[in-house]
Amino acid sequence: MRPLVGITGRRLSASLTQGMDKRFAGRHVDSFFSDYARGVADAGGIPVHLPFEAGTAEAVERLDGLIITGGQDVHPRRWGGDESALPVDADPRCSTMAHDVERDAYEAALIRAAVDRGVPVLGVCRGHQLLNVALGGRLVPDLPPSEVEHYSPNEALTDGEPDHVVTFTPGSLAASVYGASRQVNSWHHQAVDALGGGLVVSGRAADGVVESIELPGRPVLGIQWHPEWQATTDSAFAWLTAAASGTHRPAGLSAAR
């Protein structure tokens, strides 16, 4: 039986959709980049898009794997960041870059439920950062300039630049997925700082920026790049679907902590 892999997304105003009938422009639509679903399906899983209303432990009980996707910054009040310099929050339904506390909450609830139940988790970019935050960690609010360009002008699909190579810790889950190193794409200006409970760093860029985190002994992996937008096939989807294939259990039976 192919594993069910849940994929998170955004909620936007229908008015952002070009050509939308104005009679319905005041409603909301749920938005998911199809590349995640394609990556899961190509790796042998069944992708399931999760709206905000699915941010529950009950939903996780019916899933075999979970992807927390990329997007806008996690609101700093969730991780103890400085809010004094923030502009007045725009409406996240009308601005794709505005903080979205509802999205933060539903994805964090999914992360905690999945970790608690032993359901494999893949955090991507924002999802990698939120994985850290959901487990009590903090973020670097704005990366200083360095020899590695983290906020790339490249368009997807891309494997990134030769100077952006992530080196993985020997023996880590990330190393088992990728080997010793991997050239990656990069579209972020924040990064993991202080680690959440139980997490360890398993990959860094040449400038020391954290690029992968994991929970030792558990099927939980956060990666700062976008595997769905790598030009060459990324192993993250194959790892997740393989891990998810081993999580089937009777309804209502949680995995042991």
Which among 75, 107, 125, 211 is annotated as catalytic?
125
CA-derived radius of gyration, the chain: 18
| Residue 226 designated active-site | yes
Task: Judge whether 65 and 247 are in contact, CB under 8 Å.
Answer: yes
Which among 128, 164, 188, 226 is annotated as catalytic?
226
In sequence order, what DSSP letters do the residues of 68-124 get, joined into one string? E---SPPPGGGTT---TTPPPPP-TTT-TTS--HHHHHHHHHHHHHHHHHT--EEEE
Q: CA torsion, points 79, 197, 172, 5, in degrees to nearest 10? A: -70
Which among 107, 211, 214, 228 is annotated as catalytic?
228
Task: Judge whether 12 and 209 are in contact, CB under 8 Å.
Answer: no
Question: Could you list the active site residues?
Answer: 125, 226, 228
